[in-house]
């Protein structure tokens, strides 16, 4: 399935990639026509007895929709089609975290080589659900591939989406501007409203920022990987990064740490909370806060329950 609005591929390039893939397999190319269409197509593929592979050409939002369609009834490693991703968005975190080239043509070549050589990997994913006994109980569950953010990060993504609706291009500069605007306009950064609860452990109170990671890097600035929680992996459950202070000096310090982060060193300090390999936990907020998953703004929530699901999906690498 092809997202015609993919920001880094032209119509001609997409035609070339489709022809390259069709030369190696029986392929039906479908262009998405509306938000959620890729999810509907993924669900149709999951319910079909004849489809063995789904190829998603687009950015992280397209991939997220496809994954949610494929897994609408839950993981089934033997029964579900495999997934291949051709990066066509502005960042392509999931594809790059799998080790694929960020160039769509090179990535297509790598996928074709992997298909010939039988190269595939089973990855874990995150699942966010409404918390029983709260106002958000009835919110539908949603899978995410690499990252979710509740609070500050969700607000940044919401601002980016609003800017794109006004015709702005999705660039790294746009994201950085919205980070600054969210910081200056966030009424809750002085006093944390978030609490993290997990079975058998004391709650973590007073978080002003929460980021849930399923892999590292968390995102990319150009070719530079940004590692919020370096230990996050597709082979484990979920990792969490939280901050209990976001004053101007603290924000400056943590921004510098992010920009200089490496696979061995992420955010650290007395106000940074990092938790590794969590299977089940819930984030509660005293006030409604924005939620994002895989760069898609999902509105305001007061409580979200997260589950790390190991070995959820087979992907071509």
In the chain, domain spans: 11-118, 126-312
Q: Per residue in 120-133, pLDDT tens?
A: 999 999 999 999 99
pLDDT of the residue at 231: 93
pLDDT of the residue at 122: 98
pLDDT of the residue at 50: 92
CB neighbour list of residue 229: distance below 8 Å, 6 or more residues apart: 211, 213, 216, 218, 239, 240, 241, 266, 267, 274, 276
Stretches where the chain sits below pLDDT 50 are none
CB 101 within 8 A of CB 108: no
Angle between helices 152-165 and 172-185 (to 10 degrees): 120
**CATH class as words, domain 126-312:** mainly beta
- Nearest by Cα to 302 from 209, 211, 194, 196: 194
**CATH class as words, domain 11-118:** alpha beta
CB neighbour list of residue 145: distance below 8 Å, 6 or more residues apart: 60, 63, 64, 67, 94, 123, 125, 126, 214, 215, 294
- For residue 121, what are its two tokens? 């990997």
pTM: 0.93
State the Cα–Cα distance between residues 18 and 29, nearest whole angstrom.
7
Q: Which helix (H) or strand (E) holds 243?
A: strand 238-243
CB 53 within 8 A of CB 128: no
pLDDT of the residue at 17: 87
Q: Per residue in 81-126, pLDDT tens?
A: 999 999 998 889 999 999 999 999 999 999 999 999 999 999 999 9
State the Cα–Cα distance between residues 279 and 90, nearest whole angstrom.
30
CB neighbour list of residue 5: distance below 8 Å, 6 or more residues apart: 58
Measured on CA atoms in the order 224, 146, 273, 172, is the torsion positive or negative?
A: positive
- Nearest by Cα to 21 from 66, 64, 54: 54
Judged by phi (left if over 0) then psi (alpha if -120 to 50, else beta), residue 283 lies in beta
């Amino acid at each position: 399935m092809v997202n015609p609005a993919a920001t880094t591929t032209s119509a001609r390039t997409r035609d070339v990639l489709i022809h390259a893939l069709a030369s190696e397999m029986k392929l039906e190319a479908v262009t998405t026509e509306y938000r959620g269409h890729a999810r509907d197509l993924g669900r149709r593929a999951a319910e079909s007895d004849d489809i063995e592979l789904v190829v998603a050409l687009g950015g992280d939002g397209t991939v997220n929709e496809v994954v949610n369609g494929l897994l609408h009834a839950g993981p089934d490693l033997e029964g579900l089609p495999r997934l291949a991703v051709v990066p066509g968005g502005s960042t392509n975190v999931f594809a790059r975290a799998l080790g694929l080239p960020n160039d769509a043509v090179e990535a297509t070549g790598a996928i074709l080589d992997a298909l010939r050589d039988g190269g595939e990997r089973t990855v874990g994913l995150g699942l966010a659900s409404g918390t029983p006994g709260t106002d958000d109980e009835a919110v539908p569950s949603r899978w995410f591939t690499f990252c979710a953010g509740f609070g500050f990060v969700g607000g940044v993504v919401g601002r980016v989406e609003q800017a794109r609706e006004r015709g702005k291009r999705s660039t790294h500069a746009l994201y950085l501007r919205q980070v600054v605007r969210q910081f200056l306009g966030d009424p809750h950064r002085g006093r944390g409203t978030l609490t993290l609860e997990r079975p058998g452990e004391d709650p973590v109170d007073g978080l002003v920022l929460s980021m849930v990671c399923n892999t590292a890097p968390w995102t990319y600035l150009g070719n530079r990987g940004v590692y919020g929680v370096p230990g996050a992996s597709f082979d484990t459950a979920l990792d969490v990064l939280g901050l209990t202070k976001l004053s101007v000096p603290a924000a400056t310090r943590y921004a510098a740490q992010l920009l200089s982060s490496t696979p061995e060193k992420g955010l650290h300090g007395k106000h940074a909370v990092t938790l590794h390999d969590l299977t089940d936990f819930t984030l509660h907020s005293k006030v409604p806060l924005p939620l994002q998953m895989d760069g898609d703004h999902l509105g305001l929530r007061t409580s979200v329950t997260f589950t790390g699901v190991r070995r959820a999906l087979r992907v071509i690498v």
